[in-house]
Amino acid sequence: MSVEFDVDHRLWLLRTRESAYAFRLDEADRVRHVHWGPPLTLEQATQITPLPNPVGSSFDEPFDDRPELATEGGAFFGVAGLSVRFADGTQAVEWAYAGHDTQDGLCVRLRDRHYPLEAELHYRVRGEAVERHTVLRNTGTEPICLLRTDSAAWTLPRRGDYRISHTAGAWSAEAGLLRENLPTGETTLTSRRGVSSHQANPWLMLDDGTATETRGEVWSTALAWSGSWRITVERSHTGRVTWTGGFGHEGVQWRLEPGETWETPVFAGLYTADGFGGASRKWHAYVRDFVQPHPEELRPVVYNSWEATGWDVDEPGQLRLAAIAAEAGAELFVVDDGWFGARTGDTAGLGDWTVNRDRFPAGLGPLVAEVHRLGMGFGLWVEPEMVNPDSELYRQHPDWVLAMAHRGRTTLRNQLVLDFGRPEVADWAYKWLHRLVADHGIDYLKWDMNRAFTEAGRPGDGDPGRVWVEHVRAVHGVLDRLRADHPALRIQACAGGGGRTDLGILARTDEIWTSDNTDAFDRVKIQHGFSQVLPAGVMAAWVTDSPNPLTGREAPLEFRFHVAMAGVLGLGGALTKWTADELRRAAELVALYKEIRPVVQHGTAYRLADPAVSPLTAVQYVLGDDVVVLFARRPHDHGRPIVTPVLQGLDPAAIYHEVGTGAVHHGAVLLAHGLPITLTGDGAASALVRLRREPR
């Protein structure tokens, strides 16, 4: 990684291949942002001088440059990413520079001029991203109250206008992409739910209002945290844009005990001049190269029983499904909720992780053996962080749940949240998971999490805010331990669909259950939002029944397949009710997916059209000489013009031939006019086109 330091200007420069990031110490040892954008040399970066605030007054900061991690104290009136209160009531920090080192990235050390607080600002270049986080240390003898401990603040260069892109949604409607003008003042994106959430996701993109999918400057950051979080973007009255973000939401406080160290999660950022698509491709490369545990693998085609059987899970039913799934080409058979304890619905049994002998009289052994005999891996659904009050676990350990003294215990989906921050709870979870995997030869776990936190406290604990952080660290810790002890185990992250979709969970799981909404029409939009930061190779997508059980909408089989083939294809329908023709066609399409899978899962992704604008959308993947384009057109008004999107990322001088038809296309024509596809009628229609570049 490239870190350069100019001693005279006390300025650091970090360089990626296509961007530069610079900051400096001012005369009072405050760490000031200098540059984030196109590449610069160290000498060039030293020429960037802070501008005085345009309206000099005693009601403002004297200079318009922004801190790298803003603290309360002095003439600073923005959002403090670090807010601490010392035992004597002082709530301001004055740093003294204490050196820097470049052993593991760049670490800039600061210490308070009077109080026993030290901080480290960490920076690390990974591919096109700059990863940042902060470490705090209490070197004194009294606790320090931490009111807000963000990972980092990010600052844009001055531009004429600003726009923010982010996602909003709900359960079964995740990742709705929004692109809106950034208002002057403070805009907060947040989750107070204990998970990164369906409602918002901890990433954003900023541009000056002129960027498009293919062109223009975009600055983007993503927080690697799977719990509640907050990012506050400030567009000041001077027109400067800064944002600060980290774990925990407003009002949550922690006590930093004497001698204790507090480490924030990574907040990564990247810059591109290639538009929103360029930003997404840089994120995808970053996720593959630096986040995913096994990016080199191809994700198997899963069959999951949830939409077929719900909680009605038993050995004969699962065996029937397994036989059909194997015929259809599934490579991994996953038994969902309902195989354990008294779990025959969502009211009882959660927490009692022993096989239900009424449903599986001889245990899971015979089913696992048959699934393996059929040539599939075996996967199982678990929800380790939760308990139904009607369970043996809760009757034995009513004190194991998040709760507050003299307050009710709010149940959601009839369940309570186990307090994973207690070592004995996390240890219990690790042990039964370890036994389950070891005893049954389990290849894959679907780790689910189905409710938001309420009464997030620990009766009698004087520092209850910690549960928000400790819970997530413990979940990450159990996942890490399981993976270390079972290197062949693969894990899907699920929280009622995509409620825990973030870089923190992706560092220890292999894919994400994108949404409980498997309606292919809705999926086009959900996948569009998901793809802004995350690659297709972690986006699990099942083909299910028509009409869709959730939305009641009908969609042709091929349409459902083509939409799901843009991610990690799986099957989730009631296959016992499919006709012989449907099953035969499904098997053909699964086989076709296996051929294109390397291109989709490991290739470079291009979004060719925006589903919010066009009924016809398409995504394109390129890997070496291979190109896959998946078109999906939703029903549309008769007679309205529909634009066929042009392809991207091809070699204009090359010839591409269409696999299957042999048709020949010039790269330049595909880039200027797109593929000459014909989708008949006004209803749902789709197409898959494979191209191969011919050798010169």
Residue recorded with tokens 């949240």: 417
Q: Which is nearer to ligand DGJ, 303 or 381 (CB)?
A: 381
Rule CB under 6 A: is residue 542 a binding residue for ligand DGJ? no
CB of 544 to ligand DGJ, least distance (A): 11
Residue recorded with tokens 């995504």: 619
Token readout for 612 is 């919010």
Q: Which is nearer to ligand DGJ, 516 or 626 (CB)?
A: 516
CB of 386 to ligand DGJ, least distance (A): 10
Contact pattern from residue 511 through residue 530 relative to ligand DGJ, giving x for each residue in contact according to CB under 6 A and a dash for the rest:
--x--x--------------
Interface region with ligand DGJ, contact rule CB under 6 A, candidates 4-12, 206-214, 241-249, 492-500 = 492-500
Whether 166 contacts 155, CB under 8 Å: no
Contact pattern from residue 304 through residue 323 relative to ligand DGJ, giving x for each residue in contact according to CB under 6 A and a dash for the rest:
--x-----------------
Q: Which of 443, 448, 510, 522 is catalytic?
A: 448
Q: Residue 264 half-sphere exposure, CB side, CA atoms within 13 Å?
A: 34
Spatial distance between the Cα atoms of 338 and 361, rounded to a whole number of angstroms: 14
Q: Is there a catalytic annotation at residue 626? A: no
Residue 107 pairs in a beta bridge with 101, 122
Rule CB under 6 A: is residue 381 a binding residue for ligand DGJ? yes
Q: Find the DSSP H helices in 287-402.
A: 306-309, 315-328, 365-373, 392-396
Among 117, 467, 494, 563, binds ligand DGJ (CB under 6 A): 494
Q: Which is nearer to ligand DGJ, 350 or 563 (CB)?
A: 350
Rule CB under 6 A: is residue 352 a binding residue for ligand DGJ? no
Looking at beta carbons, which residue is closest to ligand DGJ? 337
Whole-angstrom CA distances from 285 to 246, 305, 426, 541, 609 are: 23, 32, 33, 21, 21
Quick one: 607 exposed, middle or buried, by C-beta within 10 A (0-12, 13-18, 19+)? buried
Whether 628 contacts 600, CB under 8 Å: yes
Rule CB under 6 A: is residue 336 a binding residue for ligand DGJ? yes
> In degrees rounded to 5, what are phi and psi of residue 560?
-60, -40
* Residue partners of 469: CB distance under 8 A and separation at least 6: 227, 247, 248, 254, 421
Spatial distance between the Cα atoms of 278 and 606, rounded to a whole number of angstroms: 9
Interface region with ligand DGJ, contact rule CB under 6 A, candidates 469-477, 489-497, 527-535, 597-605 = 489-497
Q: Which is nearer to ligand DGJ, 150 or 448 (CB)?
A: 448
Neighbours of 59 (CB within 10 A): 8
In this structure, which long-range contacts are made by residues 238-241, counting pairs with CB atoms below 8 Å and at least 24 apart in sequence?
A: 238/53, 238/54, 238/55, 238/64, 239/158, 240/64, 240/66, 240/155, 240/156, 240/158, 241/155, 241/156, 241/162, 241/182, 241/206
* Residue partners of 360: CB distance under 8 A and separation at least 6: 314, 315, 339, 366, 367
Q: Which is nearer to ligand DGJ, 271 or 513 (CB)?
A: 513
Rule CB under 6 A: is residue 337 a binding residue for ligand DGJ? yes
CB of 501 to ligand DGJ, least distance (A): 12
Q: Which is nearer to ligand DGJ, 310 or 556 (CB)?
A: 310
At position 515, the amino acid (one-letter code) is S
Interface region with ligand DGJ, contact rule CB under 6 A, candidates 236-244, 349-357, 463-471, 493-501 = 493-501
Interface region with ligand DGJ, contact rule CB under 6 A, candidates 186-194, 491-499, 519-527, 620-628 = 491-499
Contact pattern from residue 395 through residue 434 relative to ligand DGJ, giving x for each residue in contact according to CB under 6 A and a dash for the rest:
----------------------------------------
CB of 336 to ligand DGJ, least distance (A): 5
Rule CB under 6 A: is residue 115 a binding residue for ligand DGJ? no
Spatial distance between the Cα atoms of 31 and 38, rounded to a whole number of angstroms: 21
Interaction with ligand DGJ in 271-310: which residues (CB under 6 A)?
306
Site size with ligand DGJ, rule: CB under 6 A: 11
Q: Is there a catalytic annotation at residue 448? A: yes
**Secondary structure letter of residue 695 according to DSSP:** P
Q: Which is nearer to ligand DGJ, 344 or 614 (CB)?
A: 344
Token readout for 103 is 């052993």
At position 35, the amino acid (one-letter code) is H
Interface region with ligand DGJ, contact rule CB under 6 A, candidates 57-65, 110-118, 466-474, 490-498 = 490-498
Nearest to 194 by CA among 398, 409, 393, 420: 420
CB of 430 to ligand DGJ, least distance (A): 21
First to last CA, the chain: 36
Q: Which of 516, 519, 522, 626 is catalytic?
A: 516
Q: Which is nearer to ligand DGJ, 211 or 350 (CB)?
A: 350
Q: Which is nearer to ligand DGJ, 267 or 360 (CB)?
A: 360
CB of 499 to ligand DGJ, least distance (A): 8
Contact pattern from residue 187 through residue 226 relative to ligand DGJ, giving x for each residue in contact according to CB under 6 A and a dash for the rest:
----------------------------------------
Whether 283 contacts 109, CB under 8 Å: no
Contact pattern from residue 432 through residue 471 relative to ligand DGJ, giving x for each residue in contact according to CB under 6 A and a dash for the rest:
----------------x-x---------------------
Spatial distance between the Cα atoms of 307 and 263, rounded to a whole number of angstroms: 41
Catalytic site residues?
Answer: 448, 516
List interacting residues with ligand DGJ (CB under 6 A): 306, 336-337, 381, 448, 450, 494, 496-497, 513, 516
